[in-house]
Amino acid sequence: MTTAGGLSGAVGISVRPNSSAACLVQKVGALSNSLPGAASVQVSGCQNKARNGQAIRCAMATGKEHGAVTAASIVDQNKGGLRGKLNKVVLAYSGGLDTSVIVPWLRENYGCEVVCFTADVGQGAIELEGLEKKAKASGACQLVVKDLREEFVSEYIYPCLRAGAVYERKYLLGTSMARPVIAKAMVDVAKEVGADAVAHGCTGKGNDQVRFELTFYALNPELKVVAPWREWDITGREDAIEYAKKHNVPVPVSKKSIYSRDRNLWHLSHEGDILEDPANEPKEDMYMMSVAPENAPSEPEYLEIGIIAGVPVSINGRNLSPASLLAELNEIGGKHGIGRIDMVENRLVGMKSRGVYETPGGTIMAAAVRELEALTLDRETMQWKDMVALKYAELVYAGRWFDPLRQSFDAFMENITATTTGSVTLKLYKGSVNVTSRKSPYSLYREDISSFENGEIYNQADAEGFIRLYGLPTRVRAMLEKGI
């Protein structure tokens, strides 16, 4: 879970421009954090560079020391730490308690500099506030923030949507799709800053550790991977708080949620507390993206979703970017109580878990794409697509996004959905999504053939011979049983 909390006081870090403890703060895109009460920072140098079309602003900062964790306060970085020596580690960072504690733990145990990395995948502005101050207060030497929302939707969500990938009949793979885009960005950042290792805050019981690490292995097998939850002696929140106090790391001030949540532009997941008993009904105050269907508007809303080659491109004739389109559908769908899923699933590590998911925009998109395929795909193609989609979903769930098999499946899906172009009109009403219209220039539906009236193409008399031949195996078996 990512905790969005503030720090109780500002912390400054004293940095000499050419010292080994100099800190480089990176920000990406339009994200700019306002930090009330933070220590003043002088910018002594700035350099702009571009990577993958995203501008990264770099600033060398100097300021007065206020007792924050310094490079030498935990361990002599030239000699290494308690568990070995690493040069620089890129940490998947949220600003919550766990990742705040991981920063000094890495420095103490591996004698390394720590680069905190945060990906904006649509988790919301509140979870991105104050990250620079939190990272510096924990002892990190760099903060990198990248806006991955458009890449996340266009290059990860849309391929799964086009494939019709659904895990165990219900799960639309929200967290599963987000981890590889984050991990890929971490590999890129590791190269940019010269890191020799990456780290994450995933526990040893979950799926996310696998998703992160398989991506690291696929994209840069030379990177070392550190997973503190599999190594340290911290067993819970109280232990983490004590460790933070011992190392002068301010504990993030936030209200502790009773649920473990993960949010991105595609979905919001809920686990833990009463949900750990599958017999318990979720409490209504748990939901954050959608209203209860019974409290949704009493009037239905109609939406026309435009689709090109199996992916949505417009709402009611308005073309939108992938991230903008999904964000708008989330608002509309949530208002009508759409996209709530309660399921018990089989985790990759072997155990069962119970989760509740809110996926309003994704539920609308999936319904539209699936319905348009009814017009554009023939029977055999649709059946093969559905079979491949099951394995596709398993690969994504298991973290094998960069596996050649998934990439080959993706080429298959892209090819067979090339003509899945047109529009679908949906009726949204109190938690339901019903199709009212579908149109495509590539439709295989022919009214002159399907009509009950006789036509030139389909002669109803031909059906007799077809039935006799199609039913021949059935007839022969019955003849055998009756001794005919």
- CA angle (369, 370, 373) in 5-degree steps: 90
Other beta carbons within 10 angstroms of residue 88's beta carbon come to 18
Give yes or no: 179 in active site. yes
Q: For residues 412 and 402, what is the distance between their CA atoms, to the nearest angstrom? A: 16
Give yes or no: 196 in active site. no
The DSSP element (H or E) to which 205 belongs, if any, is: none
Query: Could you give phi then psi for residue 255, rounded to 5 degrees?
Result: -75, 125
Give yes or no: 285 in active site. no
Pick the catalytic residue from 260, 314, 432, 443: 260
Spatial CB neighbours of 349, under 8 Å, sequence gap ≥ 6: 205, 206, 207, 210
Pick the catalytic residue from 208, 262, 438, 440: 208
CB 360 within 8 A of CB 330: yes
Give yes or no: 353 in active site. no
Pick the catalytic residue from 107, 162, 179, 400: 179
Query: Could you give phi then psi for residue 249, rounded to 5 degrees?
Result: -100, 120
Other beta carbons within 10 angstroms of residue 346's beta carbon come to 12
Q: For residues 258 and 385, what is the distance between their CA atoms, to the nearest angstrom? A: 40
- Name all contacts of 430-435 with Cβ < 8 Å and 24+ positions apart: 430/293, 430/294, 430/296, 430/297, 430/336, 430/337, 431/293, 431/296, 431/336, 431/337, 431/338, 431/340, 432/293, 432/338, 433/338, 433/363, 433/364, 433/367, 435/367, 435/368, 435/371
| Catalytically active residues, by annotation | 98, 179, 208, 260
